[in-house]
Every structure is written in C-alpha cells, then in structure tokens.
Structure 1
Amino acid sequence: MRCKDEQEILTLISCGNPDGLKSLFDLYYKPLCIFAMNFLDSFGESEDIVQDLFVKFWEKYKDKQFEGSLRAYFFTAVRHNCAKVLKLKNRYNLQLEEEYIEEPVYSEEEFEGECRKLYAEIARLPEQCRKVFELIVLKDMKYKEVADFLGLSVNTVKTHFARALKQLRSSLQILLVFLLRK
C-alpha cells in the first residue's frame, strides 16, 4: 500500500503539484522528527532539519522524477543532516579523546610548568584571537558579551575563538583541559 501511495506522491511532486509535498509531509514528518531526536537534544532542531529537508526535496524534484525509495532517502538525509549539525556544535567545544578522560596525576611543579607553557602559547596567538580566547575562557564571557566589549560581530568572535582553539589544540590539547576545568 505504501509503495502505491509513494508513487502517487512522487507523480504529484514531479508535476509540481504542492498536494504531493503535503502528502509527503503528512506521511513522513513525525517519524523523521522522532528519528532525528535520536541524534539531537532539541525537538526544535529536529523539526528544523526535517522541514529544511522537505523544502530542499521540493525544490529539487518539483520538476523532475525522483527514483528510489522515499523512506530510505529521507531517513538517510536526516541522519546526515543531524551529523552535520552535531559537527558544527562540537566545532566550538573541546572534544576529549577517550585517552584524556582519565585525569593524569601531575606533581605541582609539573602542573605549573605545563601551565606556563600554555600561557606562553596563548601569548603567541594573534592579538585579536588572544583577546577573544582570554575573554571567553579566562573571563567566562559569552560570545555576544565579547562581541560588544571588543566592538566585533558575534561571527567574528566565533571565528577568532575557533582559530585560537585550533592553534592551541595542535600542541597543547591536554593542557587546555586543565585550564578549562579551573
């Protein structure tokens, strides 16, 4: 029964009939949102991903024929789009490798020496990246607060912070963990 329904829906969509999109939406919207919730924390994000997928599908196939399984296409696309969202979210968060989850034991001198190295690396950052990094990490300010304080856009602040993290991660990943835990 579903194949016939899907075929009728695809015919309507390929003719540019919006009723086909509505039928497709009614058939798959809730199951896709629930599926997306397996990957994301927010139902709102899940809905956004699914809605965007329907819009893109309509734009791509309203004038041409889709071949394949709608179910497989939509569930695969939702999984990939959720992965993209998670990747973007994690870009600004330090992701600890399993090997760093256990806290190593350092003597006070070793810890102080490593902290000095970290502060030296922070001092080597380009000036704007350093300012942004220090305000976010050391002063615990939000992106918006840093943007207002420095007279920059929020996206510029995010870019500088990402650059600073990338540079520091390359040689000092474990030291950042100590600094961020303070």
Structure 2
Amino acid sequence: MNGNFDLKYQALFRKYYPNLIFYATRIVGDEEAEDVVQDVFVELWKRKDSIEIGEQIQAFLYRAVYTRSLNVLKRRNIADGYCNALEDINQRRAAFYHPDNNDVIRRIENQELRKEILGAINELPEKCKEVFKLSYLHDMKNKEIADLMGVSLRTIEAHMYKALKYLRSRLEHLMLLLLLFLMK
C-alpha cells in the first residue's frame, strides 16, 4: 500500500505543485508561497496511512493551501503590527482566493491547460505548426493558407492531418478536460 501511495503522491506533486505555488503566491506573496505549499505536501505525507487519495484531493490541496496561507497572513499581521487598513486588504485578498471561488481556481487551471496546449503546438514540425496556427489561431480557410504559402490545397490538408493526429495523441490525457473547458 505504501508503494502505491508513494507513486500517487509523486504524481500529485508533479500535477498540482506549480498551480498551488501560483495560488499561494496570490495570497501570501512570493517569499512564503513555496513554504506554504511544501507544508501542505509534508502534512499529506505524514497522513499517508490515514488519507485516501481520490477525486477530492484537488479540493483538499487548495483548501489546505488556503488555510495555511491565512495562518501566514495572521502571523504576519501580528508580527508586523499591521494597521487596520492593511489587515483589511489581506482579508479581502484571502476572501477573493478562497477555494470556493471556483472562477479563480478555474482561471489558474485554464492558464495551465493553455500553456500545455501551446507547448504541444510548438512541438509540431515547422510547416505543420505554421499551417495549424493559420487555421486555428487566425481562422483562415485551407484554400487561403494554400494561396498565402504558395502550395497546393492537398499539401495544406496533409499538414493539417499530420498536426491534428500529433496533437490528438500528445494531448490525449487532456481531452476530457478540454471538453469540459470548451463546454463552459
């Protein structure tokens, strides 16, 4: 069981760590965000015998980062003797980034999704990438692209087929996420 937990833990760390850092930074700033997120993963590790990693783990991680971030803000307020106005700003920031504010979490996740998709597009061979970007990002028709590039329509269709085939296999793990993203 522990070996299985180790693998799940490593996968969780790789999947959520960057997003959680981004999230914590919005609440506590750069200097303490990494400490907050590391504390959450340490706590998760300590509870490995009593916690089940399932569907709710993302919500658990965001809520744990949020709670630890609030504790950092409280300690900071006490230690620095912040004036009431600054304390009010910290409270408003914390409320805005509350895990129940799904729009904020969705925005963070969408940025990561967009980065992964653009990364996959940039891995395409040069001509495929150019054709794909003209078609999907600049909304050009295959005939317009053929005329612009001075090649046959069949060549453009072949590049599009190759690009879509590659992206489909490269981003297969994101397809369900992408469908949900496009349905919003």
Q: TM-score range by the shorter chain?
A: 0.3 to 0.5
Bigger helix share: 2
